[in-house]
């Protein structure tokens, strides 16, 4: 398996360093870190960032609230579709899309790949279709217009499954190689999950999605800039579950850093390190 790290959406919320911990100037800089995995059976996309339709019709596809708060740049060359093409593939080569959850900044590119089967937890699909999850943000975070033309879904329960590095209910995915696992991590949304991918050398990559937002949260000296801490509180549906799951992700980073390399969706420092390598 060959793994590409893609940034499928740069966001520039106001707040600079106070928001993201590193940007000089007024704007912060967040990424939408996605993976494109080449297998013998075609391409697998892990999360999709913003898609071509979000770029063309942002006011119809996204909420005014999050457009104003996150200030996505919506650059055509940052869509997963443009990056798949730039790597020499066709959109129909993407056979599977696994999404950590269905927030607007993770599901926007789904409809750019009409041949793909979408994998997500059943709970996430249910609350996203009903636009539940958080009092104020629920109708704004989930945008069913981003997936309403999709027919091929594989939905997974939050219970059952196997153990993996201290996590429960971990399972493989229909039609995907056994090296790719879905790891339920509720808290940010009800059906949020991380994705583990075993690399050819036996080590694991663990994509924690929005279980944390800043690399400092999973480091020995735990820290998070105030902007990202506030954003996570705004978006969480279950504070206790999010806290417990973030603690487990941090334990994974600290106790198994030699066999598992992890990253989250929006940290630019992590993305730059993986993209350079």
Binding site for Zn ion (CB under 5 A): 105, 210, 265
| CA max distance for the chain | 47
Rg (CA), the chain: 17
State the minimum distance, in angstroms, from the CB of residue 70 to Zn ion.
9
Between CA 107 and CA 122 the distance in angstroms is: 15
State the minimum distance, in angstroms, from the CB of residue 121 to Zn ion.
16
Contact 174, 154 (CB under 8 A): yes
| 87 or 241: CB nearest Zn ion | 241
Q: Classify burial at 120, counting beta carbons within 10 Å of its beta carbon; exposed 0-12, middle 13-18, buried 19 or more.
A: buried
Q: Name the DSSP class of 203.
A: -
Between CA 79 and CA 267 the distance in angstroms is: 18
State the minimum distance, in angstroms, from the CB of residue 182 to Zn ion.
17
N-terminal to C-terminal alpha carbon distance within the chain: 16
State the minimum distance, in angstroms, from the CB of residue 175 to Zn ion.
26
| 1 or 69: CB nearest Zn ion | 69
| 12 or 265: CB nearest Zn ion | 265
| 108 or 161: CB nearest Zn ion | 108
Contact 269, 228 (CB under 8 A): no
State the minimum distance, in angstroms, from the CB of residue 189 to Zn ion.
10
| 156 or 212: CB nearest Zn ion | 212
Q: Which of 79, 5, 46 is nearest to 194 (CA)?
A: 46
Q: Which letter, b or e, does each residue of 130-146 get, where b requires 16 or more Cβ atoms within 10 Å of its Cβ?
A: eeebbeebbebbbbeeb
| 161 or 210: CB nearest Zn ion | 210
Contact 112, 91 (CB under 8 A): yes
State the minimum distance, in angstroms, from the CB of residue 255 to Zn ion.
26
| 49 or 161: CB nearest Zn ion | 49
Between CA 172 and CA 176 the distance in angstroms is: 8
State the minimum distance, in angstroms, from the CB of residue 152 to Zn ion.
23
């Amino acid at each position: 398996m060959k793994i590409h790290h893609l940034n499928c959406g740069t966001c520039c919320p106001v707040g600079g360093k106070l928001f993201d911990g590193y940007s000089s100037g007024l704007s912060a800089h967040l990424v939408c870190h996605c993976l494109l995995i080449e297998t013998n059976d075609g391409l697998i996309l892990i999360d999709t960032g913003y898609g071509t339709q979000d770029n063309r019709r942002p006011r119809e596809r996204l909420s005014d609230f999050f457009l104003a708060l996150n200030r996505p740049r919506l650059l055509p060359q940052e869509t997963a579709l443009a990056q798949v093409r730039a790597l020499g593939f066709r959109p129909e080569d993407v056979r599977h899309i696994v999404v950590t959850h269905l927030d607007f900044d993770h599901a926007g590119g789904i409809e750019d790949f009409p041949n793909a089967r979408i994998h997500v937890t059943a709970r996430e699909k249910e609350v996203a279709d009903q636009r539940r999850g958080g009092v104020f943000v629920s109708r704004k975070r989930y945008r069913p217009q981003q997936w309403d033309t999709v027919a091929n879904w594989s939905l997974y329960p939050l219970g059952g499954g196997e153990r993996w590095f201290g996590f429960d209910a971990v399972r493989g995915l229909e039609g995907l190689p056994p090296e790719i696992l879905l790891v339920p991590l509720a808290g940010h949304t009800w059906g949020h999950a991380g994705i583990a991918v075993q690399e050819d050398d036996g080590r694991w990559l663990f994509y924690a999605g929005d279980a944390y937002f800043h690399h400092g949260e999973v480091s020995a000296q735990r820290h998070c800039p105030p902007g990202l801490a506030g954003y996570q509180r705004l978006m969480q549906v279950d504070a206790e579950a999010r806290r417990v799951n973030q603690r487990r992700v941090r334990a994974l980073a600290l106790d198994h850093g030699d066999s598992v390399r992890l990253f989250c969706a929006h940290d630019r420092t992590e993305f730059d390190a993986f993209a350079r390598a």
